[in-house]
Amino acid sequence: MDITEENVHGKWKEFILTNDHGMSVSILNFGGIITNMIVPDKYGKCENIVLGYNNYADYENNTNYLGAQIGRVASRIKDGSFHLNGSHYELAKNEGTHHLHGGPNGFHQIIWESGTHQSEHEVNLVLTHTSKHLENGYPGNLDISVTYTLNNSNELTLNYQAASDHDTPVALTNHTYFNLSGDMTDTVHNHRVQFDSRYFAELDEELIPTGKLIETTDTPFDFRNGRLLGDGLKSETTQQIIAGNGYDHYVMFGSEKAVTVSENNSGRTMKIHTNAPGVVLYTANGLDEGLKLNEGLSQKYAGVCFEAQPHPAALHHEGFPNVILQTEEKYHSYIKYSFE
Ligand code: G6D
């Protein structure tokens, strides 16, 4: 087990967490961004399986949120506003009249305080930050920590903890684009995804949840028996077309909060465990084309995101799990990526 730290791109630091079985993860203190994730394939060939920019400078204006920590609230908040405890709050509007992924100065755009810890069986990077009262319009001073832990079982766990001195919405997640093939010229059409997908949130033309939760049965969102992402990418349903011919939807778990993703050519299987009630499944339908990535140029469908989170549609609609963190309540969520 090893953890190294390097100064990169001026004031940034890049931490490389390495275990004894060929897995390593590179993380910036800027945006908590995962820039590389090296995992062995079925032949033991170690390759990068996440989308990352070739030039650090491209992370400064990361409108695709590659690899980034997202917060204070991931996903879209309609009209960038909400009511809470009798008060009306206006957030920064960074996508038309709406608020996306914490706003223009969201957690993907800040330099986090960092610390490391190493033991015989795991290495940890701890990133901390205080988001000030009314920063981007959110109420309360929010103390956040994100701990990245890599162990010798080829597991990377992100542990989120937060507390605020005022009731506030919080929905933290990670926005890494995965491509298990290790070949970034390939798309994710042939990634097989399986999870207990019970309902998905219907979107309007602006990708804002309408408040309607739709049963997944007999839709391209039914992953309970496993299906290729390509099924949804070529589907002609209204919801697929609205999302730019793919998935960009919040899908709520049934009983098991886990996702299994596999890719045949490499033989890689990734299992995601979380305590979040659902995930935004995003198949990079809107990923800018031609961006210089570590292993080539970006293209539509080059990666898939599983943004485990509660959803801020709860601020405007019934039926969605709570996103309000009460004063002095402890926020705790985790996302564990395991590779066989
Ligand atoms: C697009 O709609 C999608 C979002 O879900 C995604 O997070 C973003 O691109 C990177 O706006």
- Residues ≥6 apart with Cβ < 8 Å to 10: none
Element (H, E) at 224: none
Separation CA 7–CA 17 (nearest Å):
15
pLDDT 10s digits, 100-128: 999 999 999 999 999 999 999 999 999 99
CA of 292 to the centre of ligand 1 (A): 19
Ligand 1 pocket residue status of 247, Cβ below 6 Å: no
At residue 181, the pLDDT reads: 98
Q: Are 313 and 66 a contacting pair, CB within 8 Å?
A: no
Quote the pLDDT of residue 328.
Answer: 82
Q: How far is the CA of 320 from the centre of ligand 1 (A)?
A: 20
Q: What is the pLDDT of residue 240?
A: 96
The rounded Å distance from CA 266 to ligand 1 centre is: 27
232-266 CB burial, b ≥16 within 10 A, e <16: bbebeeebbebbbbbbbbbbbbeeebbbbbbbeeb
pTM (2 d.p.): 0.98
Q: Counting atoms of ligand 1 from 1, which one is nearest the CA of 63?
A: 10
Q: Is 244 in the pocket of ligand 1 (CB under 6 A)?
A: no
Sign of CA dihedral 59, 62, 66, 70: positive
Write down the domain spans for the chain: 2-339
Q: Does the C-beta of 186 come closer than 6 Å to ligand 1?
A: no
* Residue ranges for the chain with pLDDT beneath 70: none
The Cα–Cα gap between 139 and 315 comes to: 14
Contacts of 61 (CB under 8 A, 6+ apart): none
pLDDT value for 313: 98
Tokens standing for 171?
């929905």
Whether 175 is a known active-site residue: answer yes
Q: Which of 101, 129, 166, 175 is catalytic?
A: 175
State phi, psi for 233 to the nearest 5 degrees.
Answer: -75, -25
CA-CA distance, 113 to 128, in Å (whole number)? Answer: 5
CATH fold of 2-339, please? Beta-galactosidase; Chain A, domain 5 (2.70.98)
Residue-wise pLDDT for 219-274, tens only, equals 999 999 999 999 999 999 999 999 999 999 999 999 999 999 999 999 999 999 99
Supply the pLDDT for residue 90: 98
